[in-house]
Protein backbone atom coordinates (compact mmCIF):
# COMPACT_ATOMS: atom_id res chain seq x y z
CA UNK A 1 0.00 0.00 0.00
CA UNK A 2 1.72 3.14 -1.19
CA UNK A 3 0.67 6.15 0.76
CA UNK A 4 0.46 8.65 -2.19
CA UNK A 5 -2.52 6.79 -3.69
CA UNK A 6 -4.87 7.91 -1.04
CA UNK A 7 -3.32 11.22 -0.08
CA UNK A 8 -5.70 13.07 -2.42
CA UNK A 9 -8.60 11.41 -0.64
CA UNK A 10 -7.28 12.48 2.74
CA UNK A 11 -6.81 16.00 1.48
CA UNK A 12 -10.35 16.02 0.13
CA UNK A 13 -11.60 14.79 3.49
CA UNK A 14 -9.78 17.60 5.28
CA UNK A 15 -11.17 20.12 2.86
CA UNK A 16 -14.68 18.75 3.34
CA UNK A 17 -14.51 19.08 7.09
CA UNK A 18 -13.11 22.59 6.75
CA UNK A 19 -16.03 23.46 4.48
CA UNK A 20 -18.40 21.85 6.92
CA UNK A 21 -16.98 23.86 9.79
CA UNK A 22 -17.16 27.25 8.09
CA UNK A 23 -20.55 26.55 6.54
CA UNK A 24 -22.04 25.37 9.80
CA UNK A 25 -21.53 28.91 11.11
CA UNK A 26 -22.91 30.50 7.93
CA UNK A 27 -25.96 28.25 8.14
CA UNK A 28 -26.60 29.12 11.77
CA UNK A 29 -26.32 32.85 11.16
CA UNK A 30 -28.59 32.79 8.08
CA UNK A 31 -31.10 30.71 9.98
CA UNK A 32 -31.07 33.02 12.98
CA UNK A 33 -31.84 35.93 10.67
CA UNK A 34 -34.90 34.06 9.41
CA UNK A 35 -36.62 33.80 12.80
CA UNK A 36 -37.52 37.49 13.18
CA UNK A 37 -38.72 37.50 9.56
CA UNK A 38 -40.96 34.52 10.21
CA UNK A 39 -42.27 36.23 13.34
CA UNK A 40 -43.20 39.35 11.40
CA UNK A 41 -44.86 37.21 8.76
CA UNK A 42 -47.03 35.62 11.44
CA UNK A 43 -47.74 39.04 12.87
CA UNK A 44 -48.85 40.38 9.50
CA UNK A 45 -51.14 37.37 9.13
CA UNK A 46 -52.62 38.19 12.53
CA UNK A 47 -53.22 41.77 11.42
CA UNK A 48 -54.96 40.57 8.25
CA UNK A 49 -57.08 38.23 10.31
CA UNK A 50 -58.15 41.09 12.59
CA UNK A 51 -58.97 43.22 9.57
CA UNK A 52 -61.16 40.44 8.14
CA UNK A 53 -63.01 40.01 11.42
CA UNK A 54 -63.79 43.69 11.84
CA UNK A 55 -66.58 45.20 9.77
CA UNK A 56 -65.00 48.59 9.11
CA UNK A 57 -68.18 50.56 8.19
CA UNK A 58 -69.60 49.84 11.69
CA UNK A 59 -66.54 51.28 13.41
CA UNK A 60 -65.30 54.84 13.88
CA UNK A 61 -63.12 54.14 10.85
CA UNK A 62 -66.25 53.91 8.68
CA UNK A 63 -65.77 57.54 7.69
CA UNK A 64 -62.73 56.56 5.63
CA UNK A 65 -64.28 55.04 2.50
CA UNK A 66 -61.54 52.86 0.99
CA UNK A 67 -59.58 52.25 4.16
CA UNK A 68 -60.05 48.49 4.18
CA UNK A 69 -58.72 47.94 0.66
CA UNK A 70 -55.84 50.31 1.28
CA UNK A 71 -54.85 48.64 4.52
CA UNK A 72 -55.15 45.22 2.94
CA UNK A 73 -52.92 46.36 0.12
CA UNK A 74 -50.36 47.66 2.60
CA UNK A 75 -50.42 44.41 4.55
CA UNK A 76 -49.90 42.39 1.38
CA UNK A 77 -47.08 44.66 0.37
CA UNK A 78 -45.43 44.21 3.76
CA UNK A 79 -45.79 40.42 3.48
CA UNK A 80 -44.23 40.59 0.07
CA UNK A 81 -41.24 42.47 1.44
CA UNK A 82 -40.79 39.94 4.23
CA UNK A 83 -41.07 37.00 1.83
CA UNK A 84 -38.53 38.65 -0.44
CA UNK A 85 -36.08 38.90 2.44
CA UNK A 86 -36.76 35.30 3.41
CA UNK A 87 -36.02 34.31 -0.14
CA UNK A 88 -32.62 35.96 0.10
CA UNK A 89 -31.89 34.04 3.29
CA UNK A 90 -33.00 30.83 1.59
CA UNK A 91 -30.44 31.37 -1.13
CA UNK A 92 -27.75 31.70 1.53
CA UNK A 93 -28.96 28.41 2.99
CA UNK A 94 -28.92 26.90 -0.47
CA UNK A 95 -25.34 27.95 -1.08
CA UNK A 96 -24.33 26.35 2.22
CA UNK A 97 -26.01 23.13 1.19
CA UNK A 98 -24.38 23.27 -2.26
CA UNK A 99 -20.92 23.95 -0.88
CA UNK A 100 -21.14 20.95 1.43
CA UNK A 101 -22.68 18.68 -1.19
CA UNK A 102 -19.97 19.56 -3.69
CA UNK A 103 -17.18 18.77 -1.29
CA UNK A 104 -18.75 15.50 -0.21
CA UNK A 105 -19.30 14.34 -3.76
CA UNK A 106 -15.64 15.13 -4.53
CA UNK A 107 -14.65 12.82 -1.68
CA UNK A 108 -16.88 10.04 -2.95
CA UNK A 109 -15.63 10.44 -6.50
CA UNK A 110 -12.04 10.17 -5.34
CA UNK A 111 -12.94 7.08 -3.38
CA UNK A 112 -14.55 5.48 -6.43
CA UNK A 113 -11.52 6.27 -8.57
CA UNK A 114 -9.12 4.71 -6.07
CA UNK A 115 -11.27 1.81 -5.06
CA UNK A 116 -8.88 -0.88 -6.19
CA UNK A 117 -6.09 0.37 -3.93
CA UNK A 118 -8.37 1.17 -1.01
CA UNK A 119 -9.04 -2.25 0.38
CA UNK A 120 -11.10 -2.91 3.46
CA UNK A 121 -8.25 -2.87 6.00
CA UNK A 122 -7.10 0.49 4.61
CA UNK A 123 -10.44 2.25 4.78
CA UNK A 124 -11.32 0.89 8.21
CA UNK A 125 -7.91 1.43 9.76
CA UNK A 126 -7.99 3.94 12.55
CA UNK A 127 -5.67 5.26 15.23
CA UNK A 128 -5.97 7.17 18.46
CA UNK A 129 -5.83 10.47 16.64
CA UNK A 130 -7.39 9.66 13.29
CA UNK A 131 -10.76 8.06 12.61
CA UNK A 132 -11.01 5.61 9.73
CA UNK A 133 -11.72 6.79 6.20
CA UNK A 134 -14.98 4.86 6.19
CA UNK A 135 -16.17 6.57 9.36
CA UNK A 136 -15.30 10.00 8.08
CA UNK A 137 -17.09 9.36 4.81
CA UNK A 138 -20.14 8.23 6.71
CA UNK A 139 -20.14 11.36 8.86
CA UNK A 140 -19.84 13.56 5.82
CA UNK A 141 -22.81 11.83 4.31
CA UNK A 142 -24.79 12.34 7.51
CA UNK A 143 -23.98 16.04 7.50
CA UNK A 144 -24.86 16.40 3.86
CA UNK A 145 -28.17 14.65 4.37
CA UNK A 146 -28.98 16.89 7.31
CA UNK A 147 -28.49 20.13 5.37
CA UNK A 148 -30.26 18.75 2.35
CA UNK A 149 -33.30 17.76 4.41
CA UNK A 150 -33.36 21.00 6.35
CA UNK A 151 -33.19 23.07 3.20
CA UNK A 152 -35.92 21.12 1.44
CA UNK A 153 -38.28 21.14 4.41
CA UNK A 154 -37.91 24.86 4.86
CA UNK A 155 -38.32 25.53 1.15
CA UNK A 156 -41.49 23.45 1.05
CA UNK A 157 -42.88 25.32 4.05
CA UNK A 158 -42.31 28.67 2.36
CA UNK A 159 -43.65 27.49 -0.96
CA UNK A 160 -46.89 26.33 0.61
CA UNK A 161 -47.67 29.80 1.95
CA UNK A 162 -50.45 31.71 0.21
CA UNK A 163 -51.48 35.27 0.93
CA UNK A 164 -55.14 34.24 1.21
CA UNK A 165 -54.54 31.29 3.52
CA UNK A 166 -54.27 33.13 6.81
CA UNK A 167 -54.27 30.12 9.13
CA UNK A 168 -51.30 28.70 7.25
CA UNK A 169 -49.47 32.02 7.49
CA UNK A 170 -50.28 32.36 11.17
CA UNK A 171 -48.95 28.91 11.97
CA UNK A 172 -45.85 29.35 9.77
CA UNK A 173 -43.54 30.73 12.50
CA UNK A 174 -44.38 27.81 14.77
CA UNK A 175 -43.85 25.23 12.06
CA UNK A 176 -40.63 26.94 11.02
CA UNK A 177 -39.39 26.59 14.58
CA UNK A 178 -40.51 22.96 14.75
CA UNK A 179 -38.15 22.16 11.87
CA UNK A 180 -35.18 22.99 14.05
CA UNK A 181 -33.22 19.91 14.94
CA UNK A 182 -30.65 20.73 17.61
CA UNK A 183 -29.58 17.09 17.94
CA UNK A 184 -28.48 16.97 14.31
CA UNK A 185 -26.59 20.24 14.72
CA UNK A 186 -24.91 18.86 17.83
CA UNK A 187 -24.06 15.76 15.89
CA UNK A 188 -22.20 17.87 13.34
CA UNK A 189 -20.33 19.68 16.10
CA UNK A 190 -19.43 16.25 17.50
CA UNK A 191 -18.16 15.12 14.13
CA UNK A 192 -15.96 18.20 13.87
CA UNK A 193 -14.55 17.45 17.33
CA UNK A 194 -13.84 13.86 16.39
CA UNK A 195 -11.86 14.86 13.31
CA UNK A 196 -9.98 17.76 14.91
CA UNK A 197 -6.77 15.77 15.54
CA UNK A 198 -6.95 14.28 12.08
CA UNK A 199 -7.28 17.77 10.60
CA UNK A 200 -4.31 19.08 12.57
CA UNK A 201 -2.12 16.14 11.60
CA UNK A 202 -2.63 16.66 7.87
Partner 1 sequence: MEGKPDVTVTSANRKFAAITGSGRKIRDNAADWHNLMLKWEKLNEDGLSAATNIVNIRRSLVEELPSSSSSSSSLFAGGAAELQDECSKLQYVVDKLVVVVMKMERLMRLQQGIQDLDEFQFGPEGRMCPLFHTWKTGQFESTSRFLLDIFSKELKLKQTILQELAHTASADLCMVYLSCWLHQPFVPPQTRMTLEALLLETGHRSV
User: Smallest distance, Å, CB 43 to partner 1?
Assistant: 9
d(CA 11, CA 16): 9
- Of 120, 107, 84, 126, the residue nearest 10 (C-alpha): 107
Residues 6+ apart with CB under 8 A from 162: 168, 169
| Residue 75 makes contact with partner 1 by CB under 8 A | yes
User: What span, in angstroms and rounded, lies between the C-alpha atoms of 136 and 18?
Assistant: 13
Shortest Å distance, C-beta 32 to partner 1: 24
Site membership for partner 1, residue 25 (CB under 8 A): no
**Position 60 contacts partner 1 (CB under 8 A):** yes
Q: Could you count the other beta carbons within 10 Å of the beta carbon of residue 153? A: 15
SS3 180: coil
One of 74, 115, 145, 177 touching partner 1 (CB under 8 A): 74
Q: Burial level of 7, CB count in 10 A (0-12/13-18/19+)?
A: exposed
Minimum distance between the CB of residue 163 and partner 1, rounded to whole angstroms? 15
Choices 18-26, 71-79, 168-176, 178-186 (CB under 8 A): range interacting with partner 1: 71-79
Neighbours of 188 (CB within 10 A): 20
**Which among 149, 148, 151, 176 has a CA at the least distance from the CA of 161?**
176
> How many residues contact partner 1, by CB under 8 A?
21
Q: Which of residues 28-47 bind partner 1 (CB under 8 A)?
A: 46-47
Minimum CB distance to partner 1, residue 51 (Å): 5
Instruction: Quote the least distance from Cβ 46 to partner 1, whole Å.
Output: 7
Q: In this chain, which stretch among 52-60, 100-108, 171-179, 183-191 interacts with partner 1, using CB under 8 A?
A: 52-60
Q: Select 71 or 163, whichever has its Cβ closest to partner 1.
A: 71
Q: Which of 70, 145, 174, 177 binds partner 1 (CB under 8 A)?
A: 70
Residues in the chain: 202
Q: What is the DSSP letter of 118?
A: -
What does the binding site for partner 1 look like in residue numbers (CB under 8 A)?
A: 46-47, 49-51, 53-54, 56, 59-61, 63-64, 67, 70-71, 73-75, 77-78
Amino acid sequence: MSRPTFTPLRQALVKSFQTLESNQKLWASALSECSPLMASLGNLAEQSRALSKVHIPDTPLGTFPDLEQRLRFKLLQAMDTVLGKLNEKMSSLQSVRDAISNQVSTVFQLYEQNRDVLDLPTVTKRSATSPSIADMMEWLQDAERHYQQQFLRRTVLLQMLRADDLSLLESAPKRWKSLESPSAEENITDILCKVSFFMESQ
